[in-house]
Amino acid sequence: MRALVEAWNQGVREVPSEHVDAAVELESPFTSVSGQPYRGHAGIERWMQDIDAHFSEWHTDLDEVHEVGDAVAGIGKLRGRGRESGVELDQAYAIVLDFERGQRITRVRIYWDLDAARGAVGLTGP
């Protein structure tokens, strides 16, 4: 997880297909507009394009990483700036990566609600 976040922060926008299953699904606060997760490698690429289209800056830091069963949960801070508005985003967030099928990422879930993220993987407390 830390390597993937660091690659993003360095501007890498290719799907690391060696780590991500072809049938991956990504759910984020931004999928609520369509109501559907981003699906497959093409979906992950579309999500990255959407983020880059709407934000001139998007940097994430991880403060905590927890391995829980077949999932890894990371909790940190997201900082961004709206491309058109210039509005700054400074938001706590959590990301949960689910692993299956030969230890490849099969689902990515991004949360603004840290308690919901913790509950999704069975973690308790802050």
Mean pLDDT in residue range 101-114: 90
Domain span holding position 114 = 2-121
pLDDT grade for 35, boundaries at 50, 70 and 90: confident
Q: What is the CATH number of the domain that holds 73?
A: 3.10.450.50
Could you say which DSSP state residue 32 is in?
Answer: G
Q: Is residue 11 part of a domain?
A: yes
Is residue 101 scored above 70 in pLDDT?
Answer: no
pLDDT grade for 30, boundaries at 50, 70 and 90: confident
Q: Is residue 126 part of a domain?
A: no
pLDDT grade for 102, boundaries at 50, 70 and 90: low
- The number of domains in the chain is 1
Is residue 55 scored above 80 in pLDDT?
Answer: yes
Q: Is residue 74 part of a domain?
A: yes
Q: Is residue 6 part of a domain?
A: yes
Could you say which DSSP state residue 28 is in?
Answer: -
∠5-7-8 over CA atoms, to 5°? 65
